[in-house]
Structure 1
Amino acid sequence: MHEIIDIPWDVGPYATRLADAGVKSVIRYYNHRNSSRLPSKCLTERELEALHAADLSVAVVFQQRGGADGNISDLNSANGVRDAERALELAAKLNQPHGSAIYFAVDWDYFRTSELRQIEPYFEEVRRLLGNDYKLGVYGSGTVGTHFQGLGLADYIWLAGALGWSGTRRALERGNWTLFQKYMAVRFPFADIHYDGNIFNPAFASFGQFDRAAALDSPKGEGSAALFRVIARSGLNLRAGPSDTYRIIQSYPLDTIVTGRGREGEWVKVDIEGDGDADGYMHRTFLEPVSGGLSQELPAARKPVDVARAEMELGVREIPGRPNNPRIVMYHATTTGGSAPDETAWCSSFVNYCVEQAGLTGTDSKWARSWHDEEWGRDKTANPEDGDIVVFRRSNSNTEGGHVAFFVDEDANSILCLGGNQGNRVSLMRYPKNGRLGPFNYKLLSIRRA
């Protein structure tokens, strides 16, 4: 089963079996009243206790229709007050820890400017009433989530599974999401109940889940995955193995979103079911990264610079214009503040990614000079070796910043560096130890070793 599931049914009786099946977190509902179709939709104290007893974390979403079927009047100012007050009543009754999140559903594809403005008072009231006690999440389309996050009215964006809804694909590509409801109506392996499976964006420390005592952070990678889009116009075959000689399992049409779990040469291991296991292989030539990325397959004893060299072989570079390279967004996701456009300086995010892939701890900062300022590792400026981390001050008359990369070689006046954001790509470039390159002056601050 998926690690993060959402479900409108009481699953307390199945809590232990869910945990045994690999579930880590269950997203349940708050509402005003249950319906005859969903008589146990609202989370109860008994169910919450059963879930926590099975070591499952919980997240909650408020939904009482939520504007579904075009009923936008559900999302007005008065209902914002009513829904927020009810959510807070339930949160108090269930002892939901402060600092965790309450999501509010916008269960329809509202995309017109007039519609978004009409909904704004709803979230203004919800934000006012939740105050600093709870994080505010928005469930809905990419357009809805991005709009309210931009207004400061959403901390988390939970993308509904409808990829045709406005702005959703764009939000995925930009990394501007916390949860994505990727797998719809999946059947329990041990009961006639269906759930939705979700992917977590590891750019965030949490999606607002909690246990008995506190809001929780998410272990890196939990519930997360790399997403790819099929770009073969006539569709793409899923094969039983990493070669054209293996049998075709099924063909998937253009624009299908699939989950990557690993790579063997030119072939991507693809998880269709979303249960964490590979269902077959697709040739990566016909897959375009949508969000995140796959780690390179390297020896277990790899060093950070080995990871960097593998990334350089991939030809990672910025994409001109508005699109972002999802792999650079992934580098940013390893640092505080999470994902960011590929135009955001990414040399430190790249080094952090490589260091973490080698099993070490970086600075968790997008600031290049953090490696020097925080005295990361040991100072080896006097006797550097291949793969050490070089930190420069970079400045001109208008700006003061830095650059960080991996040491490759040096002469009396310069250092050959392997790094990200060097010529807008992962590359080898030579930087002066104390001198000018292009519009900037560089000065070596230190060379660090783990």
Structure 2
Amino acid sequence: MDKTLQEVQRRLIALGYNLGPAGADGYPGRFTTAAVTQFQKDKGLAIQFPGTIGPKTLAALSGSENVKPVELPWIAEARKLLGLHEVKDAKKLDKALRLDTSEIAWCGAFVGMCVATALPSEPMIANQLGSRNWLKFGHTIGSPQIGAVAVFWRGGKDGWQGHVGFVVGHDKTHLHILGGNQSDKVSVARVAKDRLLGYRWPTSYPLPTGTLAMTTINASITTNEA
């Protein structure tokens, strides 16, 4: 692991760039290259080989405003379970969430566990299994931000079913959601923006600022998280 690269990745994440499911792991990859390239373009840096990290890029990152030193704590918790499947990894997943994931829609329980573990003083909602109940959580925010809790309708906008997960990026038509019960596992998937009911943010953590840059991601589209 390259600690300098890991710090670069952390700064890019804090600025809203998509580093993919691995996040700030200190290893190079296509998500890191794409994020560095986009950052260089956004800053107007004249780089002979876009995507490479040299003195100009490091200086620009060091001088960037609103840079947080580490990944959001609840996203870090969520990534610990990334890839776990409700059947193949039932024992480990059920232990983490303290329920039988084969019997219920567990996306809300996943969000609740991550937030409660990372932010023990955060007021939590009742009935976390009800996805739409997460519209009562924390503060409302008006635009996508890394770490925001995104609440979606499922089945029908006027119905009672829903889905909930964490924003880790977005493109023109879809949000990139790190969530549970997506193809029966913890994954990063694309969820259509026209299904969104609202974004929420923890009351015990500073509100985000700035605009989240659009990125591309190699992830499947999820349409029904039952």
| TM-score (norm: length of structure 2) | 0.51
Task: Give the partner amino acid of 2:133.
Answer: S
Residue 445 (structure 1) aligned with residue 197 (structure 2) = yes
**Alpha-carbon distance in structure 1 between the residues aligned to 2:189 and 2:71:** 26
- Report the 3-state secondary structure (helix = DSSP H, G, I; strand = E; otherwise coil) of the residue aligned with 2:100: coil
**1:427–1:388 CA distance, 2 compared to 1 (3 A):** same
| 5+ residue gaps, structure 1 | 1-299, 334-338, 435-442
User: Structure 2: how far apart are the matches of 1:386 and 1:412?
Assistant: 16
CA distance in 2, matches of 1:378, 1:366: 19
Cα 1:362/1:326, change in 2 over 3 Å = farther
The answer to whether the 8 A contact 1:390-1:446 is kept is: yes
- Kept in 1, the 8 Å contact 2:72–2:147? The answer is no
Q: CA deviation at 1:411?
A: 2.4
1:303 and 2:109 correspond: no
Aligned counterparts of 1:400 and 1:301: Cα–Cα separation in 2: 33
Q: Does 1:362 align with 2:130?
A: no
Structure 2 CA distance for aligned equivalents of residues 445 and 412 of structure 1: 17
Q: What's the offset of the Cα at 1:331?
A: 4.6
What is aligned with 1:317?
85
Say if 1:416 and 1:428, in contact at 8 Å, map to a contact too. Answer: yes
**Cα-to-partner distance string for 1:29-62 (whole Å, 9 max, x where unaligned):** xxxxxxxxxxxxxxxxxxxxxxxxxxxxxxxxxx
Q: Which runs of at least 4 in structure 1 moved beyond 4 Å after TM superposition?
A: none
* SS of equivalent residue, structure 2 residue 183: coil
How many positions carry a matched residue from both structures?
Answer: 130
CA shift digits 1:177-196 (9 cap, x unpaired) = xxxxxxxxxxxxxxxxxxxx
Q: Which secondary structure state, in structure 1, belongs to the residue aligned with residue 199 of structure 2?
A: strand
Match of 1:326 among 76, 81, 91: 91
Partner of 2:138: 377
Structure-2 separation of matches of 1:327 and 1:348: 17
Instruction: Give 1:70-89 correspondences, 5 Å limit.
Output: none
Shift of 1:395: 0.8
In the alignment, structure 1 residue 432 sits paired with structure 2 residue 192? yes
RMSD over aligned Cα atoms: 2.7
The answer to whether the Cα contact below 8 Å between 1:328 and 1:346 also exists between their aligned partners in 2 is no
Q: Contact 2:154–2:162 at 8 Å: present in 1 too?
A: yes
Paired position in structure 1 for 2:214 = none
Q: Structure 1 vs Structure 2: percent identity of aligned residues? A: 30
> Highest relative contact order (Cα 8 Å, sep 6+), 1 or 2?
2
1:165-314 alignment, distance < 5 Å: 303-312=73-82
Structure 1 residue 444, shift from structure 2 partner:
0.6
Unmatched 5+ residue regions in structure 2?
1-69, 203-226
Q: Quote the Cα distance in structure 2 between the aligned partners of 1:308 and 1:392.
A: 19
* Distance in 1, Cα, partners of 2:97 & 2:162: 16
Instruction: Note the C-alpha offset of 1:327.
Output: 3.2
Q: In the superposition, relative to structure 1, how do residues 377 and 426 fare at CA in structure 2: closer, same or farther (>3 Å)? A: same
Q: Which has the higher strand share?
A: 1
Question: TM-score, normalising length from structure 1?
Answer: 0.27
Q: Which has the larger radius of gyration?
A: 1
Aligned to 2:151: 391
User: What's the CA shift for 1:301?
Assistant: 8.5
1:392·1:402 contact (CA, 8 Å) conserved in 2?
A: yes
Deviation at 1:427, TM superposition (A): 0.4
* Residue 412 in structure 1 maps to residue 172 in structure 2: yes
